[in-house]
Amino acid sequence: VRVHAITNAAAQVFTANLLLATGATPSLTIAADEVAAFTERAEALLINLGTLDEERRAAIPRAIATARSQRKLWVLDPVFVDASPPRLDFAKLCLTYGPTILRCNAGEFMALAEEDASPDHVRAFARGQGCVVALTGPTDIVSDGERIIAIYNGHPLMTRVTAMGCAATALLAAFSALHDDALEAAAAALLVTGIAGEIAAEQAKGPGSFQPTFLDTLFALDPVTLTARGRHS
């Protein structure tokens, strides 16, 4: 499955390596006059708003327009919208184009939804936006506006490595392209990420060795381990 990722400068390499480790094929260009061609040949599009420079600002609407015209799924990751007013405006504009999945943390959710990140608010926001919301944190909450799934896997060391959440969003995009139900796809991607993070944290000596160990773990992850380790509602 091909994923075109317009993502931030700190996340590009890890996003590509995570997708490759799971068997997906990434492309990463942010050039405004090329993103349409790359989006057309991909099965899913990832829009991440980190390091939102001029080139990315110009490319993102074109990539989204291509995805929409082909009824292709796309995932929005509004990184740090709680820190930058112009980025918040841009994220709200992106939301009006109807992402399949919105992946964010509690601070970003609060900036977008103007509500705290309780499960009820997540579900209400998902219903209002007509998309799946995947809220990550110590407990992940995924909702499509009706159903709601909580995922308890993960490890604190995951917050000590840059772009872990951004790269996980790429996995959401890849899984969504392989599964008709976006809610289940999002929940499965977060479950896989959390379980791989736990296993890697057990084996790593710190945040440096955690990252290669995480990719090795993802690469080798099997259904039996997933079933045995998974903790979700």
- Chain residues binding a copy of itself by CB under 8 A are 8-10, 12-14, 16-17, 20-21, 26-34, 37-38, 41, 50-55, 57, 80, 83-87, 159-163, 204-209, 211-220
| 55/184 with CB nearer a copy of itself | 55
In whole angstroms, how close is the CB of 4 to a copy of itself at the nearest point? 10
CA distance 18 to 191: 15
50/145 with CB nearer a copy of itself: 50
Q: How many C-beta atoms lie closer than 10 Å to residue 28's C-beta? A: 17
CB of 184 to a copy of itself, least distance (A): 26
Nearest distance from residue 174's CB to a copy of itself, in Å? 14
Burial 175-200 (b: 16+ CB within 10 A, else e): bbbeeeebbbbbbbbbbbbbbbbbbb
Whichever of 130 and 208 has its CB closer to a copy of itself, that residue is 208
- Minimum CB separation from a copy of itself for residue 74, in Å? 18
90 vs 125, which CB is nearer to a copy of itself? 90
Pairing mode of beta strands 132-136, 140-143: antiparallel
Nearest-approach distance from CB 10 to a copy of itself, in angstroms: 5
How far apart CA 58 and CA 24 sit, in angstroms, is: 26
Which CB sits closer to a copy of itself, 138 or 180? 138
Q: At 189, which amino acid appears?
A: A
